[in-house]
Chain A
Amino acid sequence: MLYKESGQFVTTYRFDKRFFRLKQERLAFALLLAFAFLVVPSIGNDYWFSAILIPFLVLSLAGLGLNLLTGYAGQLSLGSAAFMAVGAFATYNFNLRIEGLPLIISLILGGLTAGGVGLVFGLPSLRIKGFYLIVSTLAAQFFVQWVFTNFTWFSNNSSSGVITAPPLHVFGSDFNSPVGRYLLTLTVVVALGLLAKTIVSGELGRKWMAVRDMDTAAAVIGISVPKTKLLAFAISSFYLGIAGALWAFTYLGTVEPHGFDLTRSFQILFIIIIGGMGSILGNFLGAAFIVLFPILLSNLSSGLFAGAIDPGQLENFQKMIFGALIIFFLIKEPNGLAKVWQTVKQRLRVWPLRF
């Protein structure tokens, strides 16, 4: 009822390629953006911005990066955190070493550097597939971390190997307050999210999916498989690089190479598995689950059981509950949270009728 499609016809190709084909979806998206840009800054507090919303957005972006590669182009990767690290350190160095370079330009250059590194580590994908490719991207993970740990030039010879973000100024405005950081992150994430939506619904996205589903068949219909795969690696790494830079600059304000270790790569992989492969929305849902749920559990338990149970035990219980929830969700919906949303939409289409 609410989600009625009847009467909304697609008459032109251009119309078919719109972000959202249904009026209701466009309206909902516009409302969501208005809420995020206008309402949230006035109702949120420091805690929500700095500890919940910013990491959620950044990890959504990272998930999006990996999803382009794994969910759309079908190339498995465990090097996500490495590309994030490249993005963060490259942005830092561009910003530090080129006097007067605007932050946004450093950010884009950092992303492009990460894209370049991703391209190099994507080369093995031309020969190997699946689990073997995981191993070669794992090499990226360890190699990048080793480079940043051992060559202190990258961290401007900081004794502890930690880089700290410069003050955030964009177009003359100050974005250093928690709400400013949030808005900066949100803008970048929304822009890149829409770009990703364009990419996957356009020619390149279709090529990726063709390669994912069967690369021989894709080659037969005239798609250049090597070019398509490498582009997937480069674009995915660009996204991850930007996410890494935002992680360092707008979220923590400081970062060390070990902040981008294998655990982070796994975290991003879990985001897309739980959120849903081959979906843009899935990254946001997955990141919400991975980021927000442990925080929620921790807040709940400290609110309800503080003092009653030993704090260490309480922490272990939370881990167990979180693990059990992951198993529960994957049994109930192996295709991820994005599929749950699809199902809800199907139901809404006929609601309140049953069929």
Chain B
Amino acid sequence: MKFLGKHRWLLLALGLGIASVTAQVQAANEQYFPLQSYRIGPYAAGGSGFFGGFIDYLQYVNAKEGGVNGVKFTWSECETEYVVEKGVECYERLKKGLNGAPAAATNPLSVGIAYATLERSTADKLPLITINHGRTDSTDGSVFPYAFPLQLNPYSEVSAIVNYIATQSGGLDKLKGKKIVTLYHGSPYGKETSPILELLAKKYGFELTLLEVPHPGNEQQSQWLTIRRIKPDWVILRGWGVMNPVALKTAQKTGFPANHIIGNIWSNSEDDAAPAGSAAKGFISITTHPSGTSFPVLQGINQYVIKAGKGNLQDPKRFGNVYYNLGVVNGILNVEAVRVAQAKFGKRPLTGEEVRWGFENLKLDDKRLTELGALGLVQPLKLSCADHEGGGAVRFQQWDGSKWNVISEWVQADRQLLRPIIEKSSHEYAKEKGITPRDCSKETVAAK
């Protein structure tokens, strides 16, 4: 048994590992957020900014108000590296809650992971929040009761971009004959919008070329040479992580003007534009929330969290950038959903099922947003049983070489056009999986 003797430390480690998984201590009055975060790998900039903002907002609510109605927030992280099976492992590890505090909702910030945990979330009755991304047809809450592509689903995003291009060209009828190239990330996220782009191309008569950039996207020479050959009027950049700065640099090398590249919602951060240096100057992107630190809520975070030395960001310069602010927005939406649900179910830690009701009855108008100090940061939003998206509006911003400047008012997606497509897809899913859609008229609604 020399082997065992020599490797006693290993057994010890094994024992400790199992102990740390199973340790469960009863904790009172806390609501838990399982965070499937990612801080290393090619998408670290997005993950660390988003989860930094989310965690800082939770810390802010804890420090300023002592949580929601006395229920404090707690969280723990599990690294996914944006890899699906790691995300699933994290989901299974964290879904049970922490020290007795029940989990409120999961926020994986990855379409791949969201797809893989969609059915698990439904079975476990735990809301799956995919802010500004996710599976488009999960907007239809009657089929997907636990999935919430909040603010902006991928179809709305594309529709808003096409509407913007139309305004720039002088109307939707002027789109005819225009050439648009979409450069997309080779992942479920990247491909999600291809069918709707093709549909819009047919409807408005523009010529569409879809070009895939393989994950992670640090090699794009051939794609941009193709673009140079096509000479499009606009390029829609549907990038993610390292793909974005590389796209901008390669565009400059092949002579395509940055001010005719429109970045989508995951190509819109300082971390996407700044690394490209001068090549990014003039680059346009959409956003659901401006960057900046002037909003009262960010000032509050600065005062209560950052100045107290508890800020989650390693690089304080990233405070108030696009990813960070999205994390804050996500924090606000999650916390508000808990607040709405507490008003119905009582001032105590809630189960995922109860929080789901909170999301479905979430209503943020200008008045509430002013109270939260987030007017202009979060768009007015109203969710319902049938509509799990709520907003669907974006603004456009342009990079001036050092920061983003907002260059448009809210541009609305054509949601009436998209709704039947979404419903068709969700009903197909329901049929394939044997789900009977809920009757939304029978759902209980929050008291007005």
Contacts and interface: CB of A to CB of B under 8 A. Distances in A.
A55 B83 CA distance: 14
A222 interface: no
A149 B48 contact: no
A259 interface: yes
B145 interface: no
Nearest to B81: A315
Given A164-B115, A252-B116, A259-B84, A302 B77 contact: yes
A164 B433 CA distance: 10
B438 to A, nearest CB: 19
B2 A47 contact: no
Interface string A43-60: 000110011100100000
Nearest to A55: B85
A303 interface: yes
Given A159-B136, A252-B84, A312-B314, A47 B17 contact: no
Interface string B17-58: 101110100000000000001011000100010000000000
B116 A312 contact: no
Nearest to A252: B116
Interface string A299-320: 1101110100011100110000
A305 to B, nearest CB: 10
B20 A303 contact: yes
Contacts of B119: 164, 253
B191 interface: yes
A315 B38 CA distance: 9
Contact of B20 (A162, A304, A311, A316): A304
B62 interface: no
A298 B79 contact: yes
A159 B191 contact: yes
Interface stretch (B89-97, B344-352, B402-410): B89-97
Given A149-B186, A302-B77, A312-B44, A160 B115 contact: yes
A164 B39 CA distance: 28
B76 interface: yes
A252 B186 CA distance: 19
Nearest to B19: A303
Contact of A296 (B14, B212, B314): B14
Interface in B419-448: 425, 432-434
A340 interface: yes
B293 interface: no
A303 to B, nearest CB: 3
A51 B92 contact: yes
B37 A258 contact: no
Contacts of B3: 340, 343-344, 347
B187 interface: yes
B16 A254 contact: no
A251 B40 CA distance: 25
B60 interface: no
B39 A312 contact: yes
Contacts of A52: 89
B195 interface: yes
B194 interface: yes
A303 B16 contact: yes
B116 A311 contact: no
Given A46-B92, A343-B3, A162 B115 contact: yes
Interface in A238-277: 251-254, 256, 258-259
Interface in B149-195: 186-189, 191-195
Interface string A147-191: 001000000000111101011000000000000000000000000
A353 to B, nearest CB: 13
A274 B432 CA distance: 41
Nearest to B137: A159
A161 B191 contact: yes
A160 B192 contact: yes
Nearest to B6: A332
Interface string B104-135: 00000001100110111000000000000001
A20 interface: no
A129 B245 CA distance: 42
Nearest to A319: B40
B308 interface: no
B79 A258 contact: no
A219 interface: no
Contacts of B329: none
Given A303-B17, A340-B3, A47 B434 contact: no
A51 B89 contact: yes
Contacts of A37: none
B239 to A, nearest CB: 16
Given A164-B115, A311-B39, A343-B3, A50 B92 contact: yes
A295 interface: yes
A258 B190 CA distance: 12
B143 interface: no
B274 interface: no
Given A256-B188, A258-B186, A299 B116 contact: no
A256 B112 contact: yes
A299 B115 contact: no
A282 B189 CA distance: 37
Contacts of A298: 78-79
A46 to B, nearest CB: 6
Contact of B191 (A160, A252, A344): A160
Given A51-B88, A167-B433, A315 B40 contact: yes
A164 B188 CA distance: 12
Interface string B182-220: 000011110111111000000000000000100100000
Nearest to B37: A311
A299 B120 CA distance: 21
Nearest to A159: B195
Nearest to A261: B215
A315 B79 contact: yes
Nearest to A166: B432
Contacts of A256: 112, 115, 187-188
B116 A254 contact: yes
Nearest to B10: A325
B93 A299 contact: yes
Closest 8 CB pairs of A and B: A303-B20, A312-B39, A160-B188, A51-B92, A51-B89, A296-B17, A300-B17, A315-B79
12 contacts: A55-B85, A161-B191, A166-B433, A251-B88, A254-B115, A256-B115, A299-B20, A303-B23, A306-B76, A311-B79, A316-B40, A351-B1
Interface of B: 1-3, 13-14, 16-17, 19-21, 23, 37, 39-40, 44, 48, 76-79, 81, 84-85, 88-89, 92-93, 95-96, 111-112, 115-116, 118-120, 135-136, 186-189, 191-196, 212, 215, 314, 425, 432-434
Given A159-B425, A300-B16, 5 more contacts: A160-B115, A167-B434, A303-B19, A315-B40, A316-B40
